Chain A
Amino acid sequence: MSEVKIGLEVHCQLTSLKTKLFCHCSSDYRGKPPNTLTCPTCLGIPGAMPAVNRRAVDVAVMVALALKCEVSPTTWFFRKNYFYPDLDKNFQISQYDRAGGVPIAVNGQITFTANKARKKVHIGRIHLEEDPGKLFYQGTIDTSPYTLIDYNRAGIPLLEIVTEPEFQKPAEARVFLQKIRSILEHLRVSDGTLEGSMRCDANISLQGGDRVEIKNISSFKDVERALGFEVMRQRDLLKKGMKPIMETRHWDEIKRVTLGLRVKEKEQDYRYFLEPDLVPLSISKEQIEKISRQMPELPDSRRERLMKEYGLPEYDGEVLTNDRALADFFEECTKIYNRPKAVSNWLMGDVLQCLYSLEVDIAESKITPQHLVEMLTLIDNGEISMKIAKKVLWDIVKTGKMPSAIVEEKGIRRITDDSMLNRFAEQVFKENPKAAEDAMTDEKAAHYLVGKMMALTQGRADPEKTNVVIKRKLEERRRH
């Protein structure tokens, strides 16, 4: 198998900031009428100038420290020049690591667990830059008769996090992205559930081929799918003796294929040069120390704490802390319920599976810690079986009703009453005469009858009591 090298460029909006990167406009642009959060600076009106939002710098430094980067004492802004309608100035104010440029932070790393193995990936650099405006088409980009532009997004503070090409499997890229998102959410600097707040470009090369960039990937799942597709496509080419060429490809999430955009003969010439309207940005040691003192708990130390405080295995700790909302949910549950491992099992298993298939995040779903804890209590009290509980869970997530209400409404409480169980047993014996006969001597046939009884009650019959009732009936028969 040829060696696969994958690198990622992650763009994260710093959504906790109130204003844009270079002007005083509000950065709370989602759902606002187009082009209402704008000023001469973010519209690129002639003569207007940028001024750096120092709060954005603090936040960028905090992220850099969380990603174990070296923060640059002095950093510069560069102009990245290219013509495109979403750019108000036809250049983007960004940063650069060449031509004398120094990004705000370099040389970081992230450790995560993918396929049960620990993996470390290095962060090459972090850039602080402005988001362009947003383009709207009627239908698709190719057939739309016009393009509408909304500059509310122009100037939103964006961090570009660039990894070294150290991923070998598409799934690693997905887990890595989840981890970054969890770190940003633990820092409370970016809300990953907001549409477009985290965007990702990927580059991938196989041994013997050139580097291919993939753009327009909107979700973490699609990153994995797109990279998976590319591995196949490039491996296929190599097998046929053809060499994958250096190019940029577009991910079509409906057809689930990548499509070639333009051949990259060489790096597109962005004519980077120092932004002359901004002065070098100094970040003092004191500032860095102050920020690191204010650093909230991060996923890695939270995982260690969860393991120590609740006796969870490492795997549980990793899964829970890979999503801040999930870890928060877990800890809320443990405040009102004293079997943490049971909570963890349910969260990692059925709850995640259910949310995944309904495509909702736990934070925006209808289930709350109160729901889960009440359900666990019903199980503990023997009022519902595990099997019933799994069904109840789906109803909780879909409707937001409390589990006791669902159990009541659907009449699915466990049957423990002896006379009722006797009546069901008689019916089972009557309907299965052969098995009833065999069961006198054959243990297996007896289990079969128990199974039939569970089926008849749709799983509501108390399994232990059912066993007793069936055994008692067989005893009676033997004596006759």
Chain B
Amino acid sequence: MEIKKLTATEIAEKVRNQELTAQECIEATFQRISQVDEKVRAYITLTKNQALEHARKIDQKARKGEKLGRLAGVPIAVKDNICTRGTRTTCASKMLENFTPPYDATVIRRINAEDCVIVGKTNMDEFAMGTSTETSHFNPTHNPWDLNRVPGGSSGGSAAAVSSGEATLALGSDTGGSIRCPASFVGVTGLKPTYGLVSRYGLIAYANSLEQIGPIAKTTQDCALLLNVIAGPDESDSTSLPQQPPNYTDSLATSLQGLRIGIPKETLGEGTDSNVENAVHNCSTKLEELGAKCQETTLPTLNYALAAYYLIAMSEASSNLARFDGMRYGYRIDDDDLDWSAVYSKSRREGFGPEVKRRIILGTYALSAGYYDRLFMKALKVVTLIRRDFDRAFKSFDALITPTMPIPAFKIGEKIDDLISLYMCDIDTVPVNLAGLPAISFPAGFSNGLPIGVQAIAPPLREDLTLKVAYAFEQNTDFGKKSPNL
């Protein structure tokens, strides 16, 4: 069976109708993993035994005539910063190399309740701090389209697993573009939900006020299906929104008649690869053919987004990561003669990688007395301005489209020592996190054989509009139907 040719929607239907067993799906997935993961290295931990056992239970339920869930038998890859009870959750860090959570994240409970099967935990930038999955303590993940290139980050393992057919669905997390960036680099669809739509309970925090868990899939419909399962209020997460979400698969339509789409000029031009820019223009032409009205617009405050993003994210990170002191869990240096503060600092020195330490130090600085007002507070003011800019834009437009990334996937090692140019890659994705908006990245072109993604942004809680744009485009183009040769 060619598992990689089936969508999650198809698998769940076949398993429910007993045309296919969950066990067959999971076995086929592990077969694919054994064929290609040596090259891609999408996973940190594979959970083959649990997955097969889980699949057999689902099949038993099916045989007994019990009702199966909406994701019955669908193999899913989970980013390794989402807590899974009994399965180690490392954040791709030496610090948590042997950390096994005693509880499941809310999203894990929700996918389990729908009979989805976790096949493994995926590689990522350490503590989600990166744009390339190169800062992982374990190893880089390779882009399935060109193994010498990065898959993007920080959810690089999740996106690469879906792209290479090593999982049908994946969960990622997006703090400044960490779902959309790798989705665009490996040619799949990834959605960052409205802040508060999906519970963060169980997501190991990098920057709490910015991040969301979201779906990654080969098709828009699969993204909508997974979003249906994970979205909705959760009393364990105080920042989760109280509204009951709509059925997102209902919003998928092939016509975009009357839809007003804006293209912020700040996201094109200098610094953006010409092939990427062309992809955005071709996309807008296609959307117009489908009934939308596209028009250039301006959001001048976007120019300040990157600086504000890094200040806020690093500040929150410096506090979030303080708990990793080696005492209750995680890496601890082997020296009983030291006092507690020396054990803390030495464990942290050895347990964290350089990018994590850099962000902790910069964040600590930004929150310090004397700098708080000048740096952190100023960044919060910029956020207010950016939100206003988006509010204004959404008075004239139903959605905005931009490049997801200004460039296609770069080579492994190419940018890791050039931090500014690496951070600059997030320029089109971070404003969305600062404003708490939903955004989707969908395949919209190729540049020398490398996928290019376009991002659609909508007002808060209008995931349906982003899905609608992506779906209409997908149904009328071939970019998402191509697969890498592995």
Contacts and interface: CB of A to CB of B under 8 A. Distances in A.
Q: Do A and B come from one complex?
A: yes
Contacts of B367: 81, 271-273
Given A48-B202, A49-B238, A89-B323, A83 B209 contact: no
Given A47-B82, A85-B340, 13 more contacts: A44-B323, A47-B81, A48-B202, A49-B236, A51-B235, A51-B236, A81-B318, A83-B325, A91-B319, A271-B319, A271-B367, A271-B372, A277-B208
B319 A81 contact: yes
B328 A43 contact: yes
B101 A47 contact: yes
Contacts of B82: 47
Contacts of A81: 318-319, 322, 367
Interface in A54-108: 79, 81, 83, 85, 88-91, 99-100
Contacts of A272: 367
Contacts of B169: none
A76 to B, nearest CB: 12
A273 to B, nearest CB: 6
Q: Which 9 A-B pairs have the closest CB atoms?
A: A90-B322, A276-B208, A271-B367, A276-B209, A46-B204, A47-B83, A47-B202, A89-B323, A47-B204
B99 interface: yes
A273 B320 CA distance: 12
14 contacts: A44-B328, A45-B102, A46-B96, A46-B329, A48-B202, A51-B235, A51-B236, A83-B341, A83-B344, A99-B373, A269-B369, A271-B368, A277-B237, A278-B238
Contacts of B352: none
Given A88-B323, A147-B340, A271-B364, A48 B201 contact: yes
A415 to B, nearest CB: 70
Contacts of B377: 99-100
Contacts of A88: 323, 328
Interface of A: 40, 43-52, 79, 81, 83, 85, 88-91, 99-100, 147, 149, 266-267, 269, 271-273, 276-279
A90 B323 contact: yes
B344 A273 contact: no
Q: Please tell me the size bucket of the interface on B.
A: 35 or more
Interface in B198-243: 200-205, 207-209, 235-239
A273 B368 contact: no
Contacts of B319: 79, 81, 91, 271, 273
Contact of A279 (B239, B315, B329): B239
B364 A47 contact: no
A46 B82 CA distance: 10
A51 B234 CA distance: 11
Nearest to A146: B336
Contacts of A46: 83, 89, 91, 96, 99, 101, 204-205, 323-324, 329
A43 B91 CA distance: 19
A276 B235 CA distance: 16
Given A48-B103, A90-B322, A271-B367, A85 B238 contact: no
Contacts of B373: 99
Contacts of A266: 369
A272 B368 CA distance: 9
A271 B366 CA distance: 9
Interface of B: 81-83, 89, 91, 96, 99, 101-103, 105, 200-205, 207-209, 235-239, 315-316, 318-319, 322-325, 327-329, 340-341, 344, 364, 367-369, 372-373, 376-377
Given A45-B101, A278-B238, A273 B327 contact: no
A51 B323 contact: no
Nearest to B196: A279
B82, B236, B344, B368 interface centre (most CB from chain A within 10 Å): B236
Contacts of A50: 238
Given A44-B323, A45-B101, A269 B368 contact: yes
Contacts of B324: 46
Determine which residue in B81, B315, B325 has the highest number of CB atoms from chain A within 10 A of its CB, and name it: B325
Contacts of A52: 238
Contacts, number: 106
Q: Is the interface of B mostly helix, strand, loop or mixed?
A: loop
B333 to A, nearest CB: 16
Determine which residue in A83, A267, A276 has the highest number of CB atoms from chain B within 10 A of its CB, and name it: A276
Nearest to B83: A47
Q: Report which residue of A44, A49, A272 has the largest number of chain B beta carbons within 10 angstroms of its beta carbon.
A: A49
A44 B101 CA distance: 12
Contacts of B237: 49, 51, 277
A149 B328 CA distance: 10
A45 B103 contact: yes
Nearest to B373: A99
A459 B205 CA distance: 77
A275 B112 CA distance: 30
A47 B101 CA distance: 9
Contact of A89 (B200, B238, B318, B322): B322
Nearest to B363: A271
Contacts of A40: 101-103
A89 B236 CA distance: 18
B238 A273 contact: no
Interface centre among A47, A51, A99, A277 (most CB of B within 10 A): A47
A45 B320 CA distance: 11
B329 A273 contact: no
B105 A47 contact: yes
Contacts of B209: 276
Contacts of B340: 85, 147
B325 A277 contact: no
Contacts of B328: 43-45, 88
Contact of B205 (A47, A85, A279): A47
A236 to B, nearest CB: 33
A46 B324 CA distance: 9
A79 B96 CA distance: 23
Nearest to A266: B369
B368 A47 contact: no
A201 B372 CA distance: 27
Most chain B beta-carbon neighbours within 10 Å: one of A44, A46, A269, A276: A46
A106 B93 CA distance: 44
A41 B377 CA distance: 28
Contacts of B81: 47
A400 B199 CA distance: 58
A52 B377 CA distance: 25
A147 B81 CA distance: 31
A277 B82 CA distance: 16
Contacts of A278: 238-239
Given A44-B328, A81-B367, A273 B102 contact: no
B102 A49 contact: no
Contacts of A48: 103, 201-202
Contacts of A279: 238-239
A43 B103 CA distance: 12
Of the listed residues B96, B316, B367, B368, the one surrounded by the most CB atoms of chain A closer than 10 A to its CB is B367
Contacts of B83: 46-47
Given A44-B323, A90-B325, A277 B239 contact: yes
Nearest to A79: B319
A269 B235 CA distance: 33
Nearest to A269: B369
A151 to B, nearest CB: 9
Contacts of B207: 276
B126 to A, nearest CB: 13
A347 to B, nearest CB: 48
A38 to B, nearest CB: 10
Contacts of B372: 99, 271, 273
B201 A85 contact: no
A269 B340 CA distance: 20
B87 to A, nearest CB: 13
Given A49-B238, A51-B238, A90-B322, A85 B204 contact: no
Contacts of B208: 276-277
Given A50-B238, A147-B340, A273-B367, A83 B322 contact: yes
